[in-house]
Copies of this chain bind each other. A is one copy, B any other.
């Protein structure tokens, strides 16, 4: 109780450190990420795979409008978890940066450079008062100099590169699974399967083609492409991940996905 009341004393804004050197508002923003449904990123030998749990809250909601996968540029995709409206801001920022890069230098922006431009933007919201941190994490994946690259941005504004990762709910479970199952050198197709296997672990009732989204960017064409519902259904059936029934989550309004 005392620990708690002490914690409260230092968590009212991003312009104060706690006595042990923590920024509580940034840590709480990470909780906002965990409130969102999971997204997964996997770097394959010949491409990058982004996948996201995008179950609708109602059968009347268009699954396509649940924004978890975003094309940032021809060769870059982004998967998000956490506060949806915040994610939109960062995606818009990323798209503008990528366009400016093409205009200014006449070439596609590197995945690492783009990621770090985003994290530097995020950092500003963790040091200067008058705003709150972004309550969202992003997986940024794409092809750079013919190589697949896969990055994470978190609410503190720290960039990390991964072979495979998950963000959002059940993060540590999914990460354990990925650490156990991921193997270097897997193909993009195998990575799509692994991504779906991973997401299935947060959905006891299985997955539906509409309830998940998968995108790939391969070394061959360097083009962001979303996997079609037909292909998804086939793959899910093949891996025995297909949900038996179309059930929707009865949860109340939520702005985290």
- CB <8 Å contact, A28 and B32: no
Query: Contacts A25-B17, A32-B21, A156-B85; is A131 near B127 (CB within 8 Å)?
Result: yes
Interface residue A31 (Cβ < 8 Å from any Cβ of B) = yes
- CB <8 Å contact, A28 and B34: no
User: What are the interface flags for A61-79 relative to B under an 8 Å C-beta threshold, 1 for contact and 0 otherwise?
Assistant: 1101111000000000000
User: Chain A binding site: helix, strand, loop or mixed by DSSP?
Assistant: mixed
Interface residue A26 (Cβ < 8 Å from any Cβ of B) = yes
Stretch at the interface among A117-125, A185-193, A221-229: A117-125
- CB <8 Å contact, B32 and A65: no
- CB <8 Å contact, A159 and B16: no
Query: Contacts A132-B15, A135-B17; is A123 near B158 (CB within 8 Å)?
Result: no
Which residues of B have CB within 8 Å of A253?
30, 154
When the two chains form the complex, which single residue of B65, B120, B175 contacts A160, counting CB atoms closer than 8 Å?
B65
**Chain A interfacial positions (CB closer than 8 Å to B):** 6-9, 11-26, 28-35, 58-62, 64-67, 82-86, 88-89, 92, 116, 119-120, 122-123, 125-135, 151, 154, 156-165, 172, 175, 178-179, 182, 252-253, 255-256
A-B contact pairs, 29 of them (CB 8 A): A11-B16, A16-B132, A17-B28, A17-B32, A19-B31, A20-B28, A21-B30, A21-B82, A58-B165, A60-B164, A60-B165, A60-B175, A60-B178, A60-B179, A62-B160, A62-B162, A65-B160, A67-B159, A83-B156, A85-B119, A85-B120, A85-B156, A86-B123, A89-B120, A89-B123, A127-B134, A128-B130, A154-B255, A172-B252
